């Protein structure tokens, strides 16, 4: 049984206000050793705020965070020793060489002076920044700066890694490599990463926390979330020749609970996603509706609810 005392990270009733803005309201979760957890949510959901509190950079308005049973406010320094943190946008000293910066961090991380060089070489190799070690951080490309940020978070081989959008700004090859690295590191460590990217969480995390408007609205493995929140059934349609009132017309269909317009490339057609009440197959009704209204139905697809759809629905309002 996991409790707030035995879990690696225990977050209890966390609330954080920025003046009148409530960025987090009553968020609670437990994270066990060896979990790789993805914090998923739209812009402004509260992901960064949550991470800043976990790392002790800002204080919670109320609520408590325990790291391995220790309160982060009372045992700040001790707890921070065990955490590696990559803040959003990797804020690093621009005027330092990457190597000097990593050296500085290694010193603050209390790595024995004779081991520092070796440690820097090792991390630089794993994160592939060997070629830029002697360059000023200010002159690095965004992706390389992000990687130096990752390197400093990992330099002391921490038990807990907290990474705020670790793959932002990286090129596709590098994204895949960093995801592999996170998975590898996550085998015997605890990792929390935030992202907007669903593929990222499914590719790297064994648990997803979906935050929306400061609240935790879903928690579980990708499969569990699909099971718990994939209840409604959806239909994707693409129609041509539909007028302004198409959304209302679709909403008027019996058994339809919601209609969302989707992005599409095709100028002539519009794409829609219809959410139906459970177990109702609307395909025939949709087809008939299209015929009645004189629309050309280019596509009609009964979707199994994937995470993307679930995420879209959960964070719609």
Partner 1 sequence: MRNILVIARREFFAYFGSATAYIAIALFLALLGITFFFEVPFLIAKPAFFDARVADLRPLFEWMMFLFAILLPAISMRLLAEERKLGTLELLLTMPVTESEVVLGKLFGAVGFLLVALVLTLGYPLLVSILGHPDVGPLVGGYLGVLLVGTTYLALGLLASSWTSSQVVAFLLAIVISATFTFIDLVPEALGLKAIPAFEVLSFNYHFKSIARGVLDLRDIVFFVSIIIGAVMLTTWSLESRKWKGA
Ligand X SMILES: Nc1ncnc2c1ncn2[C@@H]1O[C@H](COP(=O)(O)OP(=O)(O)OP(=O)(O)O)[C@@H](O)[C@H]1O
Residues near ligand X, by CB under 6 A: 18, 21, 23, 41, 43-49, 88, 196
**Contact pick of 3, 34, 81, 176 for partner 1 (by CB under 8 A):** 81
Which residues lie below 8 Å from residue 288, measured CB to CB, with a gap of 6+? Answer: none
Tell me: does residue 195 bind Mg ion (CB under 5 A).
no
Distances in whole angstroms, Cα of residue 264 to Cα of each of 158, 198, 245, 252, 271: 44, 19, 18, 23, 6
Residue nearer to ligand X on the CB measure, 88 or 136: 88
Minimal distance, residue 266 CB to Mg ion, in Å: 33
Residue closer to partner 1, measured from CB, 53 or 307: 53
Partner from Mg ion, ligand X, partner 1, none contacting 107, C-beta within 5 to 8 A by type: partner 1
Q: Please report whether residue 110 would count as binding partner 1 according to CB under 8 A.
A: yes
**From the list partner 1, ligand X, Mg ion, none, partner contacted by residue 35 (C-beta under 5 to 8 A by kind):** none
Contacts of 180 (CB under 8 A, 6+ apart): none
For 143, 148, 150, 307, the CA distances from 129, given in Å and listed in that order, are 10, 7, 10, 34
| Rounded distance between C-alpha atoms, residue 165 and residue 193, angstroms | 6
58 binds partner 1 (CB under 8 A): yes
Task: Answer with the entry of ligand X, Mg ion, partner 1, none that 45 interacts with (C-beta below 5 to 8 A by kind).
Answer: ligand X
Closer of 47 and 207 to Mg ion (Cβ): 47
Q: Quick one: which of 115, 92, 123 has its CA closest to 185?
A: 123
The answer to the question of residue 119 lying near partner 1 (CB under 8 A) is no
Q: Minimum distance between the CB of residue 192 and partner 1, rounded to whole angstroms?
A: 14
Which residues between 59 and 78 bind partner 1 (CB under 8 A)?
59, 76-78
Under the binding rule (CB under 8 A), the answer on residue 139 touching partner 1 is no
Please count the other Cβ atoms lying within 10 Å of the Cβ belonging to residue 101. Answer: 22
**Residue 48 in contact with Mg ion, rule: CB under 5 A:** yes
The region of 102-110, 176-184, 227-235, 280-288 touching partner 1 under the rule CB under 8 A is 102-110
CA angle 63, 66, 72 (to 5 degrees): 85
State the binding partner of 287 from Mg ion, partner 1, ligand X, none, CB within 5 to 8 A by kind. none
Binding site for partner 1 (CB under 8 A): 18-19, 52, 55-59, 76-78, 80-81, 83, 85, 87, 89, 91-96, 104-105, 107-110, 152
Residues engaged in binding Mg ion (CB under 5 A): 47-48, 88
């Amino acid at each position: 049984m996991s409790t707030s005392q035995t879990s690696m990270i225990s977050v209890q009733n966390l609330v954080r206000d920025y003046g009148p803005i409530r960025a987090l309201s009553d968020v609670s979760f437990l994270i066990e050793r060896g979990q790789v957890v993805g914090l998923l949510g739209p812009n402004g959901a509260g992901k960064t705020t949550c991470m800043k509190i976990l790392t002790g950079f800002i204080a919670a308005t109320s609520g408590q965070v325990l790291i391995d049973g220790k309160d982060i406010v009372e045992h700040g320094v001790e707890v921070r020793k065990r955490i590696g943190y990559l803040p959003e946008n990797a804020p690093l000293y621009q005027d330092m060489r990457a190597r000097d910066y990593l050296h500085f961090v290694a010193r603050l991380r209390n790595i024995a002076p004779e081991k520092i060089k070796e440690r820097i070489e090792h991390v630089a190799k794993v994160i592939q920044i060997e070629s830029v070690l002697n360059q000023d951080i200010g002159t690095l490309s965004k992706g390389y700066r992000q990687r130096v940020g990752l390197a400093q978070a990992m330099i002391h081989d921490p038990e807990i890694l907290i990474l705020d959008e670790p793959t932002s700004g990286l090129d596709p090859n590098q994204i895949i490599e960093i995801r592999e690295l996170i998975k590898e590191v996550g085998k015997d460590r605890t990792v929390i990463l935030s992202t907007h990217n669903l593929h990222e969480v499914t590719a790297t995390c064994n648990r997803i926390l979906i935050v929306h408007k400061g609240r935790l609205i879903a928690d579980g493995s990708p499969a569990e979330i699909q099971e718990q929140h994939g209840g409604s059934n959806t239909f994707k349609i693409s129609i041509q020749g539909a007028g302004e009132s198409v959304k209302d017309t679709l909403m008027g269909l019996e058994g339809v609970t919601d209609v969302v317009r989707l992005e599409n490339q095709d100028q002539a057609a519009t794409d829609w996603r219809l959410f139906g009440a459970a177990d109702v197959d609307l395909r025939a009704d949709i087809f008939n509706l299209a015929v009645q209204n004189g629309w050309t139905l280019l596509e009609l697809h009964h979707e199994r609810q994937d995470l993307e759809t679930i995420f879209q629905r959960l964070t719609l309002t």
